[in-house]
Structures are given as structure tokens and as C-alpha cells.
Amino acid sequence: MSSDVGDVVARKFGLVYSVPETVRPIYQQWGIDLPVWNGDDTWELPMPATFVLDHAGTVRGAFVQMDYTQRMEPADIVAILRTL
């Protein structure tokens, strides 16, 4: 688990997207001001992603999904970890 202020790491992995201008008013109607939350002037969000690495840093499992409600199943993570 990590924190990625400014989406520095997410950007390196290509996991940052810009909220379309047509959608921004919807965020604002709900009181969500991404530039304030981001601490800059961007309307960017990181895509949810899970990577399971072995001791050598090799990716053994990956899950990337634009739908923030979808996540890698914990059982899948445990299954991968058991093979290491």
C-alpha cells in the first residue's frame, strides 16, 4: 500500500486520467473540487491498480480498472503470494 501525492508514481505507470471538462460540473455540484483536493490546478485522478511483486521486484499479479468500485479480489492476492 502506498500514498502517491501528486500522482508521481501513477503517472510513471500511465495510471492517471484527466476528468473531462463536461463532467467537472457534476463533481462541483457534489462539492468535489479536485484541484483543491489535489493541491494544484489539475482535474486528474489516479486509476485504481494493484500490483503484487515478488522479492526481486517482478510483477506476479496486476489488476487495473477504470471503475474505482472494482478491485483485485483479496483471495487472488493471497493465491499469488502463496506461490512466492
Q: What pTM was estimated for this model as a whole?
A: 0.69
**Beta-bridge mates of residue 78:** none
Q: 84 in helix, strand or coil?
A: coil
Per-residue pLDDT for 2 more than 70? no
Q: What is the pLDDT of residue 1?
A: 60
Q: Predicted confidence band at 44 (pLDDT cuts at 50, 70, 90)?
A: very high
User: pLDDT category, 32, cuts 50, 70, 90?
Assistant: very high
Q: What is the pLDDT of residues 46-61, one digit of tens each?
A: 898 999 999 999 999 9
Q: Regarding beta strands 59-64 and 49-53, do their DSSP bridges make them parallel or antiparallel, or are they unpaired?
A: antiparallel
All structural domains of the chain with their residue ranges: 1-46, 48-84
- Enumerate residues 6+ apart whose C-beta is below 8 A from 15: 7, 46, 47, 49, 64
In 3D, which of 6, 9, 14 has the Cα closest to residue 42? Answer: 6
Grouping H, G, I as helix, E, B as strand and the rest as coil, residue 41 is: coil
